[in-house]
Amino acid sequence: MLAIFNKEVVQPPQELHSPTAASVNPAMKPQEIAKDFMSCHDPNNAFSVCFGNTALLAYVPPTNPYSSQYVPPTNPYSSQKRVFCSLDNIHCIFLGGLNNLCSLIKQYGLSKGTNEAMFVVEAYRTLRDRGPYPADQVLKDLDGSFGFVIYDTKAGTVFAALGANEGVSMFWGIAADGSVVISDNLGVMKQSCAKSFAPFPTGCMFHSEQGLMSFEHPTKKMKAMPRVDSEGVMCGATFKVDVQSRIPNMPRVGSEANWAAWGQPA
């Protein structure tokens, strides 16, 4: 999967920018990244949707090992489940799977045919508009290995999250024009963002208006940790929970403490 968002939509943590980016192979522009990503896959299988100069989402279904045309994947995450869903101007790419999807479907009153991406979109829309539960509590209720990216074109916001059990990996980084790139393919990130990328932190969620936060430890702040590659070059920082810290103003559990605005002060 691949998601690219213009810097006017998403302003990532400054620490994702590598201090040595100018002295290594340059990062690519979004158009080049998308073109290269699509060219590496069967055009009859790959799918992409572009939202002008604002955003791009690209999706390739997981390789089917039972197909007569199966080729062993070079990317260790290429065979994991991926689902794309688009509903009422909310678009979602979901990675992995939920063990408790059936119970979540019943809880939210959804149809039995609902998949993980459809559930995330429905949950996001419900909580954005009228839900009383904060985003961290909702994500804690998801049992399984998961990662997802939501682009809400109506609200103009991006929401991404990654499960805490490390069963799914995602990466994020900075393209040549400052756009944010998110992908589960490490090779794509290395080629697209040069040294300005890092693993997306597990057990965390990112909102384009509220920033990065741990849903596993919502009362704790996040801190950036310097990252050095095998060649000794400084790269985009990784982010971890600062166990000694505490967020002074926690979002209250009310109608406004939802996925669209979890960071509002009490």
pLDDT in tens, 81-118: 889 999 999 999 999 999 999 999 999 899 999 999 99
Q: Which two tokens stand for residue 201?
A: 């932190």
Residue in 87, 139, 140 with CA at minimum distance from that of residue 111? 87
Question: What's the pLDDT at 65?
Answer: 40
Contact 119, 101 (CB under 8 A): yes
Contact 173, 189 (CB under 8 A): yes
- Bridge-based pairing of strands 55-59 and 197-199 is unpaired
Question: What's the pLDDT at 47?
Answer: 87
Residue in 77, 95, 212 with CA at minimum distance from that of residue 147? 95
Tell me the CATH number of domain 2-63+76-242, given options 3.90.1150.10, 3.40.50.10610, 3.60.20.10, 3.40.50.620.
3.60.20.10
Contact 200, 222 (CB under 8 A): no
Question: What's the pLDDT at 22?
Answer: 55
Contact 101, 120 (CB under 8 A): no
Helices (H) and strands (E) in the chain, counts: 5, 14
Question: What's the pLDDT at 136?
Answer: 86
Sheet bearing 55-59, strands edge to edge:
47-51, 55-59, 2-5, 180-183, 171-174, 197-199
Question: What's the pLDDT at 229?
Answer: 80
Question: What's the pLDDT at 232?
Answer: 76
Domain positions in the chain: 2-63+76-242
Question: What's the pLDDT at 259?
Answer: 55
Which residues of the chain fall below pLDDT 70? 21-25, 63-80, 131-133, 248-266
Question: What's the pLDDT at 63?
Answer: 62
Question: What's the pLDDT at 77?
Answer: 40
**CA pair distance 225, 166, nearest whole angstrom:** 18
